[in-house]
Structure 1
């Protein structure tokens, strides 16, 4: 699936999920994610498409869109939990 300039245009239900990321190895945290999302994006020919995602697919697409927007899952966990993560120099 190729998503160019994806955006979430509709969402439904919120759940707390345990999430991690290869960009930040060895750390996980509880993140609020939508249970279902509709994502609009362009394909390689510039045509608009929409996908309805739920379950793990919805969580994964939100995670990846966060990366495109310059966020990692740590940006979505509480400040208290984030402060417990050791800083690497």
Structure 2
């Protein structure tokens, strides 16, 4: 039984989403975790395309990847970080 191309692409996107989700949890830096989370949101949007829910895919990509991820990045960049000794990070 030959594999169809859409199944291969779906499995690839699913594997990337799972790998990025694991990278979100295991990443030591918060900014990298947000970037991996944006990749997870993007893969979920592509998964909606395979389910023939194009509108939901566009909404997923525009709101979660575009707005939520950028909002999280701005929130991280605007907070003051401190080192373990109490000194402020420059």
Whether these two folds match at TM > 0.5 is no
TM-score, length-scaled by structure 2: 0.27
Structure with a larger share of its residues in helix:
2
Query: Which protein has the larger Cα radius of gyration, Structure 1 or Structure 2?
Result: 2
Structure with a larger share of its residues in strand:
1
TM-score, length-scaled by structure 1: 0.27
